[in-house]
Structures are given as structure tokens and as C-alpha cells.
Amino acid sequence: MNPFNRYLKTIWQIFKKDIRVEWRGRQGIPVMLVFALLIVFLFNFALQLSPDLQAELAAGLLWVALAFASTLGLNRSIASERENNALDGLLLAPVDRSAIFFGKSLSNFVFTFLVALILLPVFSVFYNQNMLNLRLIFIILLGLGSYTSLGTLLAVLSIQTRARDVLLPVLLFPLALPILIAAVESSRLVLGSHPVSDYQSWLFLLIAGNILFIGVGLLFFETILEE
Amino acid sequence: MSERFPSEPFSIEISNLVKHYHHQNVLDHLQLTIKRGDLCVLVGDNGAGKTTLLRILASLIRPDQGEIRLINNTENENSSYRGKIGYLGHQSMFYNDLTAAENLRHYAELYQIPNAQEAAEASIQSVELTGFKDNLVRTFSRGMQQRLSIARALLHHPSILLFDEPYTGLDQKAANFLDAQLRNLHQPDKIILVAAHRPQRMLSFATHIAWLQKGKISHHIPIDQISDFPDLEDYLRGTV
Amino acid sequence: MINKPKLLTVFDILTALTLLGALALILFWTPVEITMGPVQKVFYFHVSAAWAGMLAFVAAGAAGAGYLITRKLHWDWVSLSAVEVGLVFGLIAILSGMIWAQPIWNTWWVWEPRLTTTAIMELIYLAYFILRSSLETPEKRARLSAVFAIISVITVPLTFFSIRLFRTIHPVVIAPGGGDSAFSMTPCMLRAFLISLGVFTILLVDLFWHRYRLAKLNYKNQTGEN
């Protein structure tokens, strides 16, 4: 098998394993989903949103819910590798270690994206506007892509500390801020039926975020894990 | 890795290994060479650095200095260094929510073993757990987990075996099973290094003993020469 | 090692003198800006502090890379010292910005790109300290902090860009005219401004030097070396 196929196969294998673990334990997606919904309700009452404000703020609320909920999924995903030290098992395998980063990022990304897809119809009902919009889904793909790759790296980093998973949001949120701003703004403009030219700068920012954070993950994943 | 005189047997050569934690050298310019066919017991107090040494050899820890070389490694030359290592650590490295067979299959795929499913089942059979292969690992006792861990470590037929305190937490029956496994694995083409802070039961079948003290290997001798070194003898008596 | 180097004492005196000089220059020899009045004079130290803070954070990222390449702990002391000093300068920049904002825009806080970016940087580097405090082994702490310092410094431009873009789309009622471009500087003001920048850079180096010595002494103290 040529090295490239081997690399892809390793990513796929880790992804497949994570799906199986998730299917058995159901500790990631359902928890994220319920938490996201709770945030929606909490915001509704905390901010006492009037109907016209709701429509305006739906994009922001969606991203706040996703940003918070995904930290639970990220922590869970890395905790499953820490239990029984399975991460050592991955590191022992004769594979390029960056493939482990890609595999874990991929499963975190897919799980969070699934949560987002389930949230969209719910938001459509709650905020009385159609959010099942292909452009919005594209933006969610871009936003979550960079958010979960940075999140995966920082989750692996924080699990090495004494504070463990508590640390993740503190490290992740300030660094992910530009991504979240870009995601919120472009989602808001898409939902307001603005032309692409109004939000293309945000799309570029999201693409830049993907390149940057995937690159950072490739560069530092092994450094973080080596003892 | 380097090739040297072809007459030398396949061996693993550790030179000048240094690793420090908390301002102290856990390993301090450590030297050790283990040859093919050796079954070496690594003894030393808790905290002497046995685990650190094994984890460095397994490439889980990066040493601060020094190098590890494989000499005259003719067998499966194209597999990478990590592909030659079979490592058994303190923890099982299994996913609690997967079955025994699924866990091993996962590792077989990562090691690019052809027919991963069959390889996984064969290795489960070799540790006599076939009846439990579809049970979740979280339901396994410590002894069963350890047996499955051995299966995982041997899955890809590694030529260098590193076992870290394999007897810890095992009952008499499981320990006897491990003895038998180690005797079986002890073959002329393999290098076996077992860390044990209570090495007594291994002295009957190990070939060499290495004593790790103050970050260095103070003694590395064939097992039948122990009586020539009273301090080592004393130490071993103290570990009973 | 325990003795303070002579050069540092000389440098301390130099820093104090230039700082006093710059202060006198700003207070007595720069004109009072017509629309804003005397409070505009905060600007000289405000921008200089922001500059010094930014410089420190870039240095911290570079020192992080230095650690990862060489694995020598003194790079970690450099990184730590730079972040700590940078945090202080960032705080000065934010507080002086608020002092300026109050009379000019009639509010203590404006979500102006530079001010907001500085505030987020402060949060990032506070997280840096939380990360450090939950790691005990010096080598591991150095390694993980280095990675975080590098990631932090490369996201700062992205943050600044995103907030600026955010601002241009949402014009605010009280328009923050964009800090230093809000008024035109006379040559005299420009000179005072450039001198402030220089003086704050000297102050940064001086404080950093002290902090670095402290980190080194702390390490020697823990290891029991002399």
C-alpha cells in the first residue's frame, strides 16, 4: 500500500472506531444536543427575546450553542482515549502520528456537524425562520471545520494538565474568537438573504481559519503528546 | 538504525540515554545492549526509571539525549521501528465500550495487518479468551484484561517485546498463565525485556538480569552469574 | 548569579531617566489638542504600552519556538517573562484607553478594534497562566506553554482582522475615530509620540530583564543549585 493510502486508511480507521464507541456509549452527540438546547432556552429567558429580535439573533445563538456544546464532545472524545491509556495504543502504532490528529478531528467535526444539522430545524421552529439553508450549512461546515480542529488540539493539550478537561473552554474560546465572529456574521447575513459579496470576506476568514488551525494541528500534535 | 558487522547478532543497543524530570536525571547516560534470544529481566526500585526506559524504547517518550539503535535487523526490514515493538504497559489501552474482538481488530487495522478480523480472532484464541471475544472489555477482570493486552502486544508479531510490570494485579492462575506465555515467546529470534520490581518468579526462565540504579544499569549479567554479585543477590532477596 | 548585574543597574537608571524625560516632554512641551483637551496626552503612553505589549507577546511566541527547537529551559523563562510583562503593558493600554474614552466618547468602554483585540489578548494570556499553573513538571510545562504561546501569537492578527471587519459592518453611534488617526499630529506631537514608543520599549526590556532573572533564580532555588 502506498504511504498516502495508508495515511488515509489510518484516519478512516480512527474515525470508524470513534463512531463505534459513540454508537455504543452514546456519550457525545446526545449530550451535546441536550446541552445546546438548554443553552437556547436559557438565552431565551435570560435575554427576554422579543420575536423580531429572535430572528435577528438566531445565527448568534446557534453558534453560541454549538461553541459551548462542542467543548463537551471534544472533552468526551479525548477522555475515551485517556481511559485505559488507549492513546498510547494509537501512538505505538507504526503510523504517522499526524494521521491520529486528523482522525480525531474528523470524528469530532462530524459529530458536532450532526448536532448542528439536528439543531437547524429546531431553531427554524423556535425562531420562526427557515434555517435549513444550503448556504448556511456550508458556513457551518467551514466554521466547525476550523473550530473542531483547533478544539481537538487544545483538548489533547488540556487533558495533559492537572486541571484536565476543565481547561479546554478557557484555552479554546479566546483563540477561536475570530472563527466564531466570522461564523456568526456570515450566518446572520445568509439568513438575512444578503448577496455573497456582503459576506465573502467572512468566508475567506473561515477558510483561512481552516488552513491555519489544521496546519497548527499537524505541526504541534506530536509535540503535545510526546512526554 | 545502522548496519554493522554482519557477524553480530540482531540486537538493540541503547547508548548514553538521558531523561530528566523535575530537575533530576531519571536516566543518566544509561547504556544497555540486549541481544537476540535474550529474555532480560529489568529490576530496580519503584521510581528507578524502569517505566521511563521501556516507554522510551517503545517511542512513547522522547529522550533528552542518547540513542537507540537496532543492529543487524534482517527480519521484516521494511517495517518501521514502531512496527517491531510489542509493548505491554500498566494500562490495557482498550476502549471499554468496544468488545475484545473489536478492540483487537482496531489495532490490527492500525498495524496494517492483512485479514485483520482473522488475525484478531487468532490472537484472542492464543490467550484463551475466544469465549469472551464478543463481550465488552469493561466487563473483563484484571487478569482477562492483561491476557487481552498480551494478545494486543503480540498481534503484529513484533521482534522486540517490552513488558512493564506484567504481573501486577494478577492472581496465581493468571500469573502462571503469563509465565507460560513468556516461556513460549522466548525464542531465538526475539528480544524480550521485562520490567519487574519483584522478579523472583522470572529467575527460573529468564536468561539475563539488568539492574537499574540511580539512572544507570549497574549490572547486566546472565542469570546464572547472580551468585557472583553479592549486592545483587542481597537486593533480590529484599524484593521477595 | 545572586548579585544583580551592574549593567542592569545602569539600565534601570537609564529607564527611569528616559521615562521621566518622556513624561516631562509630554506634559510640558506638547501642545494641547484643540477638540479633546489635555486628556489627549494619554494617547502617547496608551499607544506605546499597546506597542510594548504586542512586542512582548511576539517575543513570547518566538521564545516558545526557541524552546521547542533547542529544549533548553531558559527559553521557557524568556517566554514566561515576556508574557507576564506583556500582560502588564496590555493592562496599561486598556486602562489608559478607558481613561481616554470616558471624556471623549462619554463611556468607559468602546468596542473599538484595537482595544477589543488587546482585551482578548489579555484573556488569551491569562489562559496561558492558568495552563502553566496546572502543569508541574518543568519540561512538560515548558513544552505545552510554548505550543500555546505560538498558537496565541499567530491567531492575534486573525482576531484583529475579524474585529476590524466586524466594526466596518456595524457602524457605531459614538464613532471611535480609530485611535491615533482621529486627529492629525503636529511634528512636535509626532516627535513626542516616537520618543514615547522608544522609551516604552526600553521600559519593556528593563522589566523583562528583571522578570527573567527572577525566573532563573526561582529555578535555581527549586533545584538547589547556586
- Residue A21 in grid coordinates: 464507541
pTM for this prediction: 0.90
A53: distance to nearest CA of chain C, Å?
16
State the Cα–Cα distance between residues B40 and B37, nearest whole angstrom: 9
What DSSP state is assigned to residue B161? E
Measuring CA to CA, how many Å separate C203 from each of A132, B98, B150, C161?
55, 59, 61, 28
Neighbours of C139 (CB within 10 A): 19
What DSSP state is assigned to residue C16? H
- Residue B231 in grid coordinates: 549486592
Helix C42-70 vs helix C138-169: crossing angle, to nearest 10 = 140
Answer for the pair A176, A67: CB distance below 8 angstroms, yes or no: yes
State the Cα–Cα distance between residues A60 and C22, nearest whole angstrom: 46
**Per residue in A150-204, pLDDT tens?**
999 999 999 999 888 889 999 999 999 999 999 999 999 998 888 888 888 899 9
pLDDT band at B78 (very low <50, low <70, confident <90, very high): low
Average pLDDT of the residues in A35-56: 83
pLDDT band at C177 (very low <50, low <70, confident <90, very high): very low
**Contact flag A84-B96 (C-beta cutoff 8 Å):** yes
Neighbours of B132 (CB within 10 A): 18
Question: Cβ contacts (< 8 Å) between C138 and chain B: which residues?
Answer: 22-23
- Asked if pLDDT for residue C175 goes beyond 50, the answer is no
State the Cα–Cα distance between residues A25 and B97, nearest whole angstrom: 6
- What was the pLDDT predicted at C171? 54
Side-chain half-sphere exposure of B134, counting CA atoms within 13 A: 0
pLDDT band at B42 (very low <50, low <70, confident <90, very high): very high
pLDDT band at C169 (very low <50, low <70, confident <90, very high): low
Task: Tell me how far the alpha carbon of residue C32 is from its chain's centroid.
Answer: 26
Question: Cβ contacts (< 8 Å) between C136 and chain B: which residues?
Answer: 22
The residue to which cell 474528523 is assigned: A106
Measuring CA to CA, how many Å separate A48 from each of A42, A45, A57, A67?
10, 5, 12, 21
**Per residue in A82-112, pLDDT tens?**
989 999 999 999 989 999 999 999 999 999 9
Enumerate the domain spans of chain B: 11-237
The domain total for chain A is 1
Domain B11-237 sits in CATH at 3.40.50.300
Question: Cβ contacts (< 8 Å) between A25 and chain B: which residues?
Answer: 97
The residue to which cell 489638542 is assigned: C33
Compare C158 and C201 and report the one with higher pLDDT. C201
SS (H, E, C) chain A: CCHHHHHHHHHHHHHHHHHHHHHHHCCCHHHHHHHHHHHHHHHHHHHCCCHHHHHHHHHHHHHHHHHHHHHHHHHHHHHHHHHHHHHHHHHHCCCCHHHHHHHHHHHHHHHHHHHHHHHHHHHHHHCCCCCCCHHHHHHHHHHHHHHHHHHHHHHHHHHCCCCHHHHHHHHHHHHHHHHHHHHHHHHHHHHCCCCHHHHHHHHHHHHHHHHHHHHHHHHHHHHHHCC
Type of residue found at A61: L
**Per residue in C60-96, pLDDT tens?**
999 999 999 998 999 999 999 999 999 999 999 999 8
Question: Cβ contacts (< 8 Å) between A157 and chain C: which residues?
Answer: 131, 144, 147-148
**Per residue in C20-34, pLDDT tens?**
988 888 888 777 777
Q: Which of residues 15-74 of A touch B (CB under 8 A)?
A: 17, 20-21, 24-25
pLDDT band at C174 (very low <50, low <70, confident <90, very high): very low
Closest CA to A191 of A119, A113, A139: A139
- Best of C137, C151, C161, C170 to disrupt the A interface (most A CBs within 10 Å) is C151
- Best of C123, C132, C158 to disrupt the A interface (most A CBs within 10 Å) is C158
B25 in reach of chain C (CB within 8 A): no
- What was the pLDDT predicted at C181? 47
State the Cα–Cα distance between residues A194 and C95, nearest whole angstrom: 38
Q: Which chains touch A (3 or more CB pairs under 8 A)?
A: B, C
Residue of B nearest to C135 (CA): B22
- What was the pLDDT predicted at B69? 86
**Contact flag B106-A17 (C-beta cutoff 8 Å):** yes
- What was the pLDDT predicted at C178? 45
CA angle A58, A62, A66 (to 5 degrees): 170
When CB atoms are compared, the residue of B61, B81, B136 closest to A227 is B61
- Residue C13 in grid coordinates: 537608571
**Contact flag C71-B64 (C-beta cutoff 8 Å):** yes
- What was the pLDDT predicted at A36? 94
Residue of B nearest to C139 (CA): B21
Closest CA to A223 of B82, B65, C150: C150
Q: Which of residues 97-136 of A touch B (CB under 8 A)?
A: none
Compare A16 and B46 and report the one with higher pLDDT. A16
What is the domain range of residue A121? 3-226
